[in-house]
């Protein structure tokens, strides 16, 4: 009877070994689950971040692609004196297309375009002033859209700013002049660029930076049509 009881039980060493094996298996399974869950959350967060960034970049591409400049302000076949007189007229300085990522006011790009996104601007037919402003202190990108007025440019302080994207750490712009990429552009001094490259650096919840880049080619950029004859 005593011999049977001893054979039917487990020794302390056997229980400890079984417990250790069970704990090891549970730890491995839980570790794998936690790693997979963390990876899935990181992937989901990055996808969400990517969707927001690409939506903003696609909007910028559409507006840049539809950029407009009044070519009648460039004299063709005129003599030098006539050209100088025209260039001295203040109403010709309208900043149809201006880009500078280092702008002191944060207005990284300002364009006149035929593409408008917000219904607040009224009818979407016609020309619009569009300004993108980067607020480095608040890590945010803003946009202002308004009707284009040919007589003067709306001051930045009167612009109707709307928050477009948060957690923006940096924005880079490059403009292609058919030969090379340059950092700044001013249509008051030249015509439209052939292409614009926009890059956004966005910070995720773990303070990691992710860069998103796109390039927009301009429909109306053809300097030979209205500049070469005035040289």
Distance CA 109, CA 98 (A): 6
pLDDT tens for each residue of 62-95: 999 999 988 665 544 444 454 454 444 444 445 7
pLDDT score, position 27: 81
pTM of the predicted model, to two decimals?
Answer: 0.70
Q: Encode 116-128: b = buried (16+ Cβ within 10 Å), e = exposed.
A: bbeeebeeeeebb
**Which has the closest alpha carbon to 220: 196, 189, 184?**
196
Torsion 43-48-54-60 (CA) sign: negative
By mean pLDDT, which of 2-6, 29-33, 64-68, 128-132 is the weakest?
Answer: 2-6
Domain parsing of the chain, residue ranges: 44-230
Is residue 117 predicted with pLDDT exceeding 80?
no
User: What dihedral angle (degrees, nearest 10) is formed by the CA atoms of 34, 39, 40, 42?
Assistant: 120
Q: Report the pLDDT averaged over residues 218-228.
A: 51
Task: List, in sequence order, the alpha helices (H) in the chain.
Answer: 2-8, 12-65, 80-87
């Amino acid at each position: 009877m005593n011999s049977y009881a001893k054979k039917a039980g487990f020794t302390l060493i056997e229980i400890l070994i079984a417990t250790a094996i069970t704990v090891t298996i549970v730890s491995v399974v839980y570790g794998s689950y936690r790693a997979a869950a963390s990876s899935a959350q990181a992937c989901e967060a990055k996808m969400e971040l990517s969707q927001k960034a690409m939506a903003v970049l696609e909007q910028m591409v559409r507006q840049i692609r539809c950029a407009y400049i009044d070519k009648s302000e460039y004299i063709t076949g005129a003599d030098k004196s006539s050209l100088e007189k025209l260039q001295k007229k203040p109403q010709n300085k309208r900043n149809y297309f201006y880009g500078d990522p280092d702008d002191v006011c944060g207005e990284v790009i300002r364009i006149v375009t035929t593409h408008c996104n917000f219904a607040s601007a009224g009818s979407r037919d016609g020309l619009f002033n569009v300004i993108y402003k980067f607020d480095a202190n608040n890590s945010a990108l803003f946009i202002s859209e308004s009707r284009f007025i040919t007589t003067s440019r709306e001051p930045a302080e009167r612009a109707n700013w709307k928050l477009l994207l948060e957690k923006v750490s940096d924005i880079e712009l490059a403009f292609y002049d058919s030969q090379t990429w340059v950092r700044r552009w001013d249509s008051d001094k030249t015509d439209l660029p052939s292409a614009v490259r926009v890059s956004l650096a966005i910070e995720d919840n773990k303070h990691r930076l992710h860069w998103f880049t796109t390039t927009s080619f301009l429909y109306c950029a053809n300097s030979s049509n209205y500049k070469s004859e005035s040289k």
